Amino acid sequence: MTTTFTTQAQVAEILPFKNAEITIEDIIPSPAEPDLPLPPPSTKPSEILDVDKITPDSHVPRDPRLIRLTGVHPFNVEPPLTALYDEGFLTSPELFYVRNHGPVPQVFDEDIPNWEISIEGLVEKPLVLNFKEILQKYDQITAPITLVCAGNRRKEQNTVRKSKGFSWGPAGLSTALFTGPMMADILRSAKPLRRAKYLCMEGADKLVRGTKDKRRDKDMTDISQPNGFYGTSVKLNWAMDPHRGIMLAHKMNGEDLRPDHGRPLRAVVPGQIGGRSVKWLKKLILTDEPSDNWYHINDNRVLPTMVTPEMSAQDRKWWTDERYAIYELNVNSAVAHPQHEEVLDLTTAGSSYTVKGYAYAGGGRRITKVEISLDRGKSWRLSDIEYAEDKYRDFEGDLFGGKVDMWWRESCFCWSFWSLDIPVPDLEASDAILVRAVDDALSAQPRDMYWSVLGMMNNPWFRVTITKEGNTLKFEHPTHPSKAGGWMERVKKNGGDLLNGTWGERMEGEEPVAPEPVIDINMKKDGVNRQIDLQELKANNSSENPWFVVNGEVYDGTGFLEGHPGGAISITSSAGLDVSEDFLAIHSETAKKMMPDYHIGTLDPASLKALNDKSSSISDELREVFLQSREWTKATLTEKKNVSWDTRIFVFDLEHEKQTLGLPIGQHLMIKVQDPINGEAVIRSYTPMSDTNLIGKMELLVKIYFPGDSIPGGRMTLALDKLPLGSAIDCKGPTGRFEYLGNGRVSISGKERQLRSFKMICGGTGITPVFQVLRAVMQDTQDPTTCTVLYGNRQEEDILCRSDLDAYVALDKEKCNVVHTLTKGSDTWTGRRGRISEQSLAEYAAPEEQSMVLVCGPGAMEKSAREILLAQGWNESDLHFF
């Protein structure tokens, strides 16, 4: 999947982030050079997803396609495997997998030049370097590197037996062009002492209690609590060895690092598990011992397979034995096509099918063979391998501000793509496709899984089963990262022993094996037998007293608010709810063993039923207010009105005709619908157009984002457009920091202020939250607040709510002024033209006492509005972006 770029236009097309520093000269050395696989099209997410708004990561815009593996927070995600593979050799930053142990540090643009790292410990000349110096004083290089989480493919281990880690599918890896200085150059400036043997690295992400680790206490008994900053170490001689390619990076695919990937500076340790590539880097410490950081000791290890979670918890020696620490990746591969649950129609299939996927090895080793078997490993076929990384070895020149300097080194630090055409009749005659990769040290993926307590480095042959159903072949991967299903689960449910050497399937005449006894972890505290009813549970569902229910037992999370690795939000968002399913899916045996400490009683059976039986609670008492902050409630689509070719009003009935919506003015609600294409849930935030006091109904104004040639279209808006009348959608809310209380009073994050005027800046459908506030001001004739609305659109037809806006102006010109501006106004348009600009903001939204600016529109508009308004003298606290 390589591309040759010959024009600046093509470059601009594949690099839509339009980094002004990138020119065609940066990436095209001369027409004679071989083509280079360059970054795929990338769109920087601008939206803070609703699920993130209530977490400490509420400042990080993200791509909703990423599959969350540990609930809402911390952010641990992998991309859908097919989307990842189909992007090609390089992954766009928005699809790149993320592994965060805690909150993402918020780093403001203006602070980046002064971001400092220290180089300390066993050095002759301790140093502090700032970001500017790191860019200016050191040679910059650019290199393609694949990062792989040690947990990649862990769901397979967890299906055999729950490990102490969460479930990754086979997409816990991604590749990018990283730019920055070599680590060795930086370290050399501080003059390492001869005694220095290890390079310890520490990030800026504060984890849990936020104090720094003590130097390692050899008798440390508490392994359940991380404490301090994320950190780890590698050997110093590796960092100094140019063949190992260890670097610092500030750019990824030519763009500044994104927050989730360590902005502004991270370490990148090629060929080793991703856990060594410390993000948000603050400290480099040279020592004579490996890192004493909690994560270095208690994570990233493959303990011997016979060590059970219990044994590992009882004896610290398992964790401090350096032999079990993992650094270099092991050889691994996975199939991307056929996809999980893909169906091949034999009546229309061609004569052959191309099986494709990825393979990687560790420590700079090259993948030398990828082999495929269709007969349980009796015979193998050799697949083709594409070494895209080698194209960079042939390249001489600069790329994204760094020199590509790989011609002299042989180490392979990237994944390779393999493929093989298989005659369809061969697939038809087989029960499974088996894939194994081999590297240049002749390490081959094993047939059998090596299960271990942390479930890391899982690399048995990748197996895709084939089931013939009528005229079709159905393919199944071992697992799916977030959904149930996959052949491993099926086999396990049928009592198969997944570790029996035949993937749990019985040979003819073989008796079924007795299923492995499920270890039942006692999550109850001995002697606790208090009965708790629903009323008492609901009385303790606040963030101060978060009681929650797992398997019918009630737990008080108060004592673990500070200690939970996911932050207090992980507990408070469960308060008052039965969270059995999520809890059991996410938590390890170790976490379960901690539960007795928080166990306070048992929910009586009637209360448990009522808690989970939403239909009965709805019919028993007709709720007056529709929206609920922690439960989804259903509204029914009753009408679609076309406002223009791409804009509709969707009318929904609430649960009953006397119900109020329950949405404070200026706030939003979350909507969940099923994507008709893949059945996945899509969640977005909307502000209804209808008056929030409307009884029994709500109206949403939605612009449909139809797919274009290279744009997939808006998932939510397309799903809504296809929704048949009579269908139900799920709603939850309210959400939002801002509320208009009336008579010029506003509340922002609970703090009240008195205003005399609003400046309202909006574009397109961004009018909706602004309009709620405007309507509230205008409907109350006693409300003295004045409103100036600066509303930008493309054409006159795009102006929404125009008759209402005109009516408000006609009602009271002093109180309401609406200024339209069009970027593509027709010849007859007499109003303003162009975008909302510095000039229009100076004219209509100049700073005033007791005033606030409300802004809602596309990301780019909001960004430039913020910059201009701040430059024109507004304070950040006077601006509210919906």
CA-to-CA dists, residue 573 to 54, 534, 564, 587, 623, angstroms: 9, 18, 13, 16, 22
How many chain residues are in contact with ligand MTE, going by CB under 6 A?
A: 19
Q: List the one residue from 97, 353, 738, 874 that touches ligand MTE (CB under 6 A).
A: 97
The amino acid at 831: G
Return the SS3 of 324.
helix
| Nearest CB to ligand MTE, comparing residues 260 and 371 | 260
Among residues 279, 391, 436, 684, which is the contact residue for ligand MTE, using CB under 6 A?
A: 279
Of 149, 414, 787, 856, catalytic: 149
The CB-nearest residue to ligand MTE is 203
The C-alpha atoms of residue 854 and residue 736 are separated, in whole angstroms, by: 13
Q: Does 149 bind ligand MTE (CB under 6 A)?
A: yes
Write out the E strands in 132-185.
141-148, 173-180
Q: How many residues does the chain have?
A: 882
Residue ranges of the annotated binding site are 149
- Six-digit token pair at 68? 């969350």
Catalytic residue among 50, 213, 292, 299: 299
Whether 471 sits among the annotated catalytic residues: the reply is no
Minimum Å gap between C-beta 189 and ligand MTE is 22
Q: Is 817 assigned a catalytic role?
A: no
**Judged by CB under 6 A, does residue 95 bind ligand MTE?**
no
Q: Element (H or E) spanning 319, and its range? A: helix 317-320
Q: Which is nearer to ligand MTE, 102 or 309 (CB)?
A: 102
**What strand order describes the sheet that includes 67-68?**
67-68, 76-78, 98-99
Structure tokens at 589: 């045996």
Q: Which of residues 14-33 bind ligand MTE (CB under 6 A)?
A: none
Q: Is 212 left (phi over 0), alpha (psi -120 to 50) or beta?
A: beta
Nearer to ligand MTE, 277 or 574 (CB): 277
Closest to ligand MTE by CB, 154 vs 162, is 154
Q: Which of 181, 271, 274, 763 binds ligand MTE (CB under 6 A)?
A: 274
Task: Determine which one of 293, 298, 300, 330 is catalytic.
Answer: 300
CB closer to ligand MTE, 121 vs 203: 203
Nearest alpha carbon to residue 72 among 630, 716, 485: 630
User: Binding of ligand MTE at residue 203 (CB under 6 A)?
Assistant: yes
149 vs 374, beta carbon nearer ligand MTE: 149
Of 42 and 100, nearer to ligand MTE (C-beta) is: 100
Q: How far is the CB of 360 from ligand MTE (least distance, A)?
A: 14
- In the annotation, is 299 catalytic? yes
Which one of the spans 277-285, 329-337, 506-514, 689-697 is the region binding ligand MTE (CB under 6 A)? 277-285
- Least separation in angstroms between CB 2 and ligand MTE: 23
Tell me the closest approach of the beta carbon of residue 149 to ligand MTE, in angstroms: 4
Question: If binding is defined by CB under 6 A, does position 168 make contact with ligand MTE?
Answer: no
Residue of the chain from 62, 68, 99, 820 that contacts ligand MTE (CB under 6 A): 99
Nearer Cβ to ligand MTE (277/659):
277
> At closest approach, how far in Å is the CB of 246 from ligand MTE?
14
The rounded radius of gyration (Å) of the Cα atoms in the chain is 29
Report the alpha-carbon distance of residue 494 to residue 544 in Å, rounded.
Answer: 45
Q: Cβ 262 to ligand MTE, closest distance in Å?
A: 6
Residue 662: C-alpha distances to residues 154, 626, 784 (Å): 43, 6, 25
Taking contact as CB under 6 A, which single stretch among the options 97-105, 220-228, 372-380, 539-547 is the one that binds ligand MTE? 97-105
365 lines the binding site for ligand MTE (CB under 6 A): no
Cα separation, 518 vs 502, in Å, equals 21
Residue 75, both tokens: 């952010």
Interacting residue with ligand MTE among 17, 85, 89, 96 (CB under 6 A) = 96
Tokens of 860: 């780019």
Cα–Cα nearest to 778, from 749, 792, 758: 758
> Minimum distance from CB of 719 to ligand MTE (Å)?
29
Burial class (CB in 10 A: 0-12, 13-18, 19+), 628: middle
Binding residues among 225-264 for ligand MTE as defined by CB under 6 A: 230, 260-261
CB 170, min distance to ligand MTE, A: 14
For 776-784, the CB contacts below 8 A with 24+ separation are: 776/665, 776/740, 776/742, 777/740, 777/815, 777/816, 778/808, 778/811, 778/812, 778/815, 778/816, 780/742, 780/743, 782/743, 783/742, 783/743, 783/744, 784/743, 784/744, 784/756, 784/815
Cβ pair 297, 216 in contact under 8 A: yes
CA dist., res. 868 & res. 841, Å (int): 8
Site for ligand MTE in 280-309 (CB under 6 A): 280
Whether 229 and 207 have beta carbons less than 8 Å apart is answered as yes
Alpha carbon 425 to its chain centroid, in Å, reads 40
Query: Applying CB under 6 A, which part among 270-278, 433-441, 488-496, 777-785 lies near ligand MTE?
Result: 270-278
Q: What are phi and psi of 595, to 5 degrees?
A: -60, -35
Query: Which residue in 814, 834, 816, 815 sits closest to 824, CA to CA?
Result: 834
Interface residue with ligand MTE among 62, 73, 101, 296 (CB under 6 A) is 101
If one asks whether residue 277 binds ligand MTE (CB under 6 A), the answer comes out as yes
In the complex, minimum distance from the CB of residue 136 to ligand MTE, in angstroms, rounded to a whole number: 24
Q: Which listed residue (15, 69, 129, 147) binds ligand MTE by CB under 6 A?
A: 147
**Binding site residues for Mo-molybdopterin, as ranges?**
149
319 binds ligand MTE (CB under 6 A): no
Catalytic residues: 149, 299-300
Interacting residues with ligand MTE (CB under 6 A): 96-101, 147, 149, 203, 205, 230, 260-261, 274-275, 277-280
